[in-house]
Structure 1
Amino acid sequence: MWLIKVSLSKTNDDFPSDISFWIKIHGLPLHYWTDGALHAIGSDLGVVETKDVDQGRVRVRINGLKPLEMQLDITLPSSGTKKVELHYEKLEKHCFLCHSLSHEESECSQRNAPAVNRTSSRGINHAQTIESLESYRRARDDRKIERGRFVEASRREADYHRRRSDIH
C-alpha cells in the first residue's frame, strides 16, 4: 500500500487546489438577495458556480491553499458599506485562527502570536463547527447509554430464564 502525504505549503501552481463551497451570506438585507448581488459577492471570493437566491447563498470555487474569507465589506447603494459574515456550509476542520484549510488551530503558527496580530474572528463558522461537534458527542453518548440499557435488560432477562430453569 502506498501512502502519499501532500504538504500544502510546498505545492506549485499546477497542484489542484480549487474547492467548491456553498457560502451563506449573513447580514445581507433580504431585499439585496438578488442574482446580481450574490454574484458580485461570490466573485470577490472566487469563481461563482451557481446561486441560490431563496437561501441567500452562493456556490463558489475557491483556492483551498489560501485562507478563507470570513467577512466581507460590501457597498450597498442605499446605505453605504456593510460588513457581511460568510458561513461555509459543511466546513468543519480548519484553523480558526488564520482560516487555513491546511491545518487546525492546534497546529497553527499564529497560535502563540499576540492577539493583535491574529486575523481570527470567532464567527458563525466557529460556532457552527462547535455545535456540530457537540451534537456528534451527544449522539455518541446517547448511543452508549442505550447500549448500556440494552445490555442490562439482556442480562436481567438471562438471569430470569436461568432462575426459571433452576426452579424446574
Structure 2
Amino acid sequence: MSMLPTRLALAAAILSTLATGCLINVDDNPPPPTYTSSTPDPQPVKPTAPILARLDADKTMNAKGGDGVGVFVEYQSGGHWHVWWTCDTSLTGQACTFTHQITGGPFRNIKSEGAGRDANDSIATTSTVTSGVADMFFDTDAGATITIQSTVAGADNADGRYFFFVQEGKVNGGFAGRLSNPLQFQPTSP
C-alpha cells in the first residue's frame, strides 16, 4: 500500500486550510475618527433674571453728550433717582432713539420730557438724542429697588453694555462681565 495518496490528501487539507485564512490589513496611518453631534454650537446665554446692581448713594458720573452711548443711573439719599442717557453722534453722525421701561415704584415727582406713567409702579419714556443729554428725575420710597429695561435704536441691549452706575466707588463696581437688560438697581443706603 502506498502512502502517497494519504500524504497528498494531508497536504491538500493543510493547503486548503491556509488558503481560507483571514487577511488583516494593518495601516500605520488610519483616518482620524469623525464625530458628529445633533446639538448646535453653544450660543451665549441670555440671563433669565435681571442682575442686581448695588448703587452707591450720593455718587454722580460725568459724560459728554455725543461722545458715547450710555444709560447712566444715579441715586441720591432719600429715594431720589436720576437716569440720563447719551449718544455717540459726534463719532457716527447718527442720532440714538432710546426707550426705557422703569418698574418698581410707586414713583413720584417724575420730571422728564416724553415720560409717561404706565401705572403707579411703572414709567415709560422714548426720546431721540444727538449731541446732548436726555434725562429724567423721579422719587421712590427711600431704598427701593427699581428695574430698568432700555433699548437703543430698537436693539434690546441684551447684555446691558450701555448701563453705567457707581458701585463700591467704581463705575459698574469694576465688574467686567456682561450685565443684564433689564437690570435691577438697589441703593446701598436709603
**TM-score of the pair, normalised by structure 1:** 0.31
With a CA cutoff of 8 Å and minimum separation of 6, indicate the structure with the bigger relative contact order: 2
Normalized per residue, the structure richer in helix is 1
**Which of structures 1 and 2 has the bigger CA Rg?**
2
Q: Of Structure 1 and Structure 2, which has the larger fraction of its residues in strand?
A: 2
TM-score (normalizing by structure 2): 0.29
